[in-house]
Chains A and B, each alone.
Chain A
Amino acid sequence: MSKKIDFIKRFFQDFYLVIILIFLYAPIATMTVLSFNNSKSRTQWGGFTLKWYTQMFSSDTIMTALYNTLLIAFLSSLIAVIIGTAAAIAINGMKRVPRTIFMGITNIPMLNADIVTGISLMLAFIAFGISLGFKTILIAHITFNIPYVILSVMPKLKQTDKSTYEAALDLGATPVYAFFKVIFPDILPGVLSGFLMSFTMSLDDFIITHFTRGAGINTLSTLIYSEVRRGIKPSMYALSTIIFFTVLVLLLITNFAPKKKI
Chain B
Amino acid sequence: MKKRLFKVAAAAAVAVLSAALLNGCGKSADKTGGAGEVYVYNWGEYIDESVIEQFEEETGIKVVYDMFETNEEMYPVIEAGGVKYDAVCPSDYMIQKMIENNMLAEINFDNVPNIKEIDKPFMEMTKSFDPENKYSAPYCWGTVGILYNTSMVAPEDVPTSWLDLWDEKFDDNILMQDSVRDAFMIALKPLGYSMNTTSREELAEARDLLIEQKPLVQAYVIDQVRDKMIGGEAALGVIYSGEMLYIQQEVADLGLDYTLEYVIPEEGTCLWLDSWVIPANAPNKENAEKWINFLLRPDIAKKNFDYITYATPNKGAFDMLEPEIQNNKAIFPDVSTFKDFEVFKYLGDDVDSIYNDFWKEVKSK
Contact = CB atoms under 8 A, between A and B. Distances in A.
A112 interface: no
A133 B66 CA distance: 11
A128 B314 CA distance: 42
Nearest to A60: B49
Nearest to B65: A216
Given A196-B13, A229-B223, A67 B7 contact: no
Given A197-B9, A254-B8, 5 more contacts: A41-B231, A215-B39, A226-B44, A230-B227, A250-B12
B67 interface: yes
Interface string A193-204: 101110110000
Given A67-B24, A215-B83, A253 B227 contact: no
B64 interface: yes
A43 to B, nearest CB: 10
15 contacts: A40-B254, A67-B24, A122-B82, A125-B82, A126-B80, A196-B5, A196-B6, A197-B6, A216-B66, A226-B44, A226-B67, A246-B15, A250-B11, A254-B8, A255-B4
Contacts of B221: 229
Contacts of B65: 216
Interface in B10-54: 10-13, 15-17, 19-20, 23-24, 27, 39, 41, 44-45
Most buried by A among B9, B45, B80, B231: B9
B183 interface: no
A64 B9 CA distance: 22
A66 B12 contact: no
Contact of B231 (A226, A232, A246): A232
Nearest to A214: B83
Interface string B74-99: 00000011111100000000000000
Contacts of A98: none
B121 to A, nearest CB: 31
Which 4 residue pairs are nearest across A and B when measured between Cβ atoms?
Answer: A231-B227, A196-B9, A70-B20, A216-B64
Given A215-B39, A247-B8, A250-B11, A231 B64 contact: no
A262 to B, nearest CB: 14
A199 B13 contact: yes
A230 B44 contact: yes
A86 interface: no
Interface in A46-100: 63-64, 66-67, 70-71, 73-74
Contact of A200 (B7, B9, B81, B83): B9
A66 B24 CA distance: 11
A196 B11 CA distance: 10
Interface string A10-34: 0000000000000000000000000
Q: Is the interface of A mostly helix, strand, loop or mixed?
A: helix
Interface in A181-220: 192-193, 195-197, 199-200, 214-216
A193 B39 CA distance: 39
A132 interface: yes
A73 B16 CA distance: 10
B39 A216 contact: yes
A71 B83 contact: no
B183 to A, nearest CB: 17
Contact of B45 (A63, A132, A230, A255): A230
A215 B41 contact: yes
A221 interface: no
Nearest to B17: A74
A240 interface: no
B2 interface: yes
A251 interface: yes
A40 B233 CA distance: 13
Most buried by B among A67, A133, A197: A67
A131 interface: yes
Interface string A222-262: 00001001111000000000000011001101110000000
Given A193-B2, A215-B83, A251 B8 contact: yes
Interface string A121-161: 01001100001110000000000000000000000000000
A71 to B, nearest CB: 6
Nearest to A258: B7
Given A231-B224, A251-B8, A126 B82 contact: yes
A67 B45 contact: no
B63 to A, nearest CB: 8
Nearest to B69: A229
A228 B6 CA distance: 31
Given A216-B39, A230-B223, A250-B15, A192 B20 contact: no
